[in-house]
Amino acid sequence: MADTPRHVPPPDSPEVERPATEHPVTDRPVYVIGGGPGGLSVAHALRARGLRAVVLEKSDRVGASWRRHYDRLHLHTTRRLSALPGLPMPRRFGRWVARDDIVRYLEKYAEHHDLEIVTGVEVSRVEPAPDGSGWLLRATGGRELTGAAVVVATGHNHTPRIPHWPGRDTYTGEFLHAGEYRNPAPYAGRDVLVVGVGNTGAEIAVDLVEGGASRVRLAVRTVPHIVRRSTAGWAAQFTSILVRRLPVRLVDRLARPMAKLSVPDLSEKGLPRPDSGLYSRVGQGAIPVLDVGLIDAVRKGRIEIVAAVDSFEDGKVVLADGTRVSPDVVIAATGYVRALENLVGHLGVLDEHGKPVARGRRAPADAPGLYFTGFTNPISGNLREMAIDAQKIAKAIAGDHDDRRRASRLPVT
The pLDDT of residue 410 is above 80: no
Q: What's phi and psi for 6, nearest 5 deg?
A: -115, -35
Q: Find out whether 348 and 366 touch, Cβ atoms under 8 Å.
A: yes
Q: Rounded CA gap, 244 and 254, in Å?
A: 13
* Statement: residue 24 has pLDDT above 80: no
**Quick one: what percent of the chain has pLDDT higher than 90?**
83
* DSSP calls for 186-237: GGTTSEEEEE--SHHHHHHHHHHHHTT-SEEEEEESSPPPEEESEETTEEHH
Q: Is the pLDDT of residue 10 over 50?
A: no
Largest interatomic CA distance in the chain? 81
**Residue 103 pLDDT > 50, yes or no?**
yes
CA 157 to chain centre: 4
Position 403 scores a pLDDT of: 65
Domains and CATH numbers, the chain: 14-158+338-409 (3.50.50.60), 161-335 (3.50.50.60)
Range of weakest confidence among 15-29, 57-71, 386-400: 15-29
Confidence of residue 409 (pLDDT cuts 50, 70, 90): low
Residue 413 scores a pLDDT above 50: no
At residue 411 the predicted structure's pLDDT band, cuts being 50, 70 and 90, is low
| Backbone φ and ψ of 328, nearest 5° | -75, -30
User: Is the model's pLDDT at 3 over the cut of 60?
Assistant: no
The predicted pLDDT at position 300 comes to: 97
pLDDT at residue number 246: 93
For 170-199, what is each residue's pLDDT tens digit? 999 999 999 999 999 999 999 999 999 999
Contacts of 271 (CB under 8 A, 6+ apart): 220, 223, 226, 298, 305
Per-residue pLDDT band for 26 (boundaries 50, 70, 90) equals low
With 80 as the cut, is the pLDDT of residue 407 above it? no
| Statement: residue 329 has pLDDT above 50 | yes
Phi-psi region of 246 (alpha: psi -120 to 50; beta: other; left: phi over 0): beta
Confidence (pLDDT) at 20: 34
| Average pLDDT score over residue span 47-55 | 97
* Phi, psi angle pair for 20, to nearest 5°: -60, -25
Predicted pLDDT at 262: 92
pTM of the model: 0.88
Q: How far, CA to CA in Å, does 165 sit from each of 27, 137, 170, 317, 324?
A: 51, 36, 11, 10, 14
Pick the residue with more confidence: 112 or 412? 112
Q: What gap in Å lies between CA 183 and CA 212, rounded to an integer?
A: 11
Average pLDDT in the chain: 90
pLDDT at 21: 35
**Cα atoms found within 13 Å of the Cα of residue 73, Cβ hemisphere only:** 20
Q: What integer pLDDT is reported at residue 293 of this predicted model?
A: 96
- What does R_g of the chain's alpha carbons equal in angstroms? 23
pLDDT tens-digit map of 283-312: 888 889 999 999 999 999 999 999 999 999
Whether the predicted pLDDT of 402 surpasses 80: no
Q: How far is CA 322 from CA 168, 308, 338, in A?
A: 17, 10, 32
CA dist., res. 70 & res. 79, Å (int): 19
Q: How far apart are CA 136 and CA 148, in angstroms?
A: 9
Predicted local distance difference test score (pLDDT) of residue 343: 97
Count, in order, helices (H) and strands (E) of the chain: 11, 22
pLDDT at 195: 98
Residue 23 phi, psi (nearest 5): -115, 100
Task: Judge residue 331's burial from the number of C-beta atoms within 10 Å of its C-beta, 0-12 exposed, 13-18 middle, 19 or more buried.
Answer: buried
CB atoms within 10 A of CB 388: 18
Average pLDDT over residues 265-294: 92
Answer whether 136's CB lies under 8 Å from 128's CB.
yes
| Segment 208-242, tens digit of pLDDT | 999 999 999 999 999 999 999 998 899 999 999 99
Q: Residue 11: its pLDDT value, please? A: 36
For the segment 83-108, the average pLDDT, to the nearest whole number, is 97
Does residue 412 have a pLDDT over 70? no
